[in-house]
Amino acid sequence: MDPFLLEALLNGVLLGGVFALPVLGLNLIFGVVDVIWLCYAELVMVGMYAVWFLYTQAGWPLFLAFAICLPLVALLGILLHLLVVRPLLSAPPINQVLATGGVLFVLQGAATLVFSTEFRSLGVEMPPMELGEVFVSGTKLAAFVAALVGAAVLWAFLKFTYVGTAIRAIARDREVMPLMGVDPRRIYLIASAAGGALAGLAACLLVVQLDVHPFVGLSFGPITFMICVMGGLGNMLGGFLAAFLMGLIVSVGGFYGSTDLSYVVAFLFFILVMFFRPQGLFTR
């Protein structure tokens, strides 16, 4: 096989790993709270700035900066839920989406005011690794592994803890669960924190690969929503698989054409999926 095509395929899988975390986070929020956080990519952006600031400006060790990033963005998720989502829980869905769209503007604006529109780079690069006949960026590989670990931790949390079980139950039937003694308010709050923490983890993985700027969220935000819907809203495994599918489309499309056009292909694919399988690609 053409080594360059092989490299494109491999990069597609690695890209899919990066898409996977925000997709899982969005899915968790949607499945449990039934609200789309339009500003999800902007939460990731805030996390990226936090790591960049702590590491390059405050001179903290990188892993300490990562360790702060997670709870920080989780806290943001809680605030978002308390201040914006909770007052709108019984409002029409579109009002909820628009309100979180307002938060998108708030976060972009705040980032512009504090950090200006300059592109900030962390300046960390791991040596490329040789796998067979192709070279893979070490940073991308490390991020990929971390994404898989994050997804596994989320899975274990949902599967083996009491709260995780309650979360899955409320996603399945939000009317009966309160009668079973589960307080939905508490579950919503926990899900929002978990969704935030996933955004924080995604931020740690992205900040080593991408320059941070206030509008960085727009470069991967739309596609994560699409992946999330393609996998089936609320369907974790479907979203996870769809992330890799989209990663491959973007990467292989970039190999045959240009990166710009590969996104056009990916978005067209999404629109077609919406026409023919709106319940999600991987939903039975």
Rounded Cα distance, 74 and 53, in Å: 18
Rounded Cα distance, 107 and 216, in Å: 11
Among 31, 48, 263, 281, binds other proteins (CB under 8 A): 263
Q: Cβ contacts of residue 135 below 8 Å, gap of 6+? A: 7, 128, 129
214 part of the interface to other proteins, by CB under 8 A: yes
159 part of the interface to other proteins, by CB under 8 A: no
Among 89, 141, 142, 163, binds other proteins (CB under 8 A): 89
Among 2, 132, 260, 284, binds other proteins (CB under 8 A): 260
Scanning 14-22, 101-109, 131-139, 142-150 for contacts with other proteins by CB under 8 A, the matching segment is 101-109
Among 27, 96, 139, 235, binds other proteins (CB under 8 A): 96
Measuring CA to CA, how many Å separate 47 from each of 25, 107, 140, 213?
14, 11, 18, 12
**Are 85 and 105 spatial neighbours (Cβ–Cβ below 8 Å)?**
no
**Are 135 and 7 spatial neighbours (Cβ–Cβ below 8 Å)?**
yes
164 part of the interface to other proteins, by CB under 8 A: no
Q: Cβ contacts of residue 84 below 8 Å, gap of 6+? A: 99, 100, 102, 103
98 part of the interface to other proteins, by CB under 8 A: yes
Residue numbers of the site for other proteins (CB under 8 A)?
A: 34, 36, 83-84, 86-99, 101-114, 117, 174-175, 178, 184-185, 188, 214-215, 218, 221-222, 225-226, 229, 233, 258, 260-261, 263-264, 267-268, 270-271, 274-276, 278
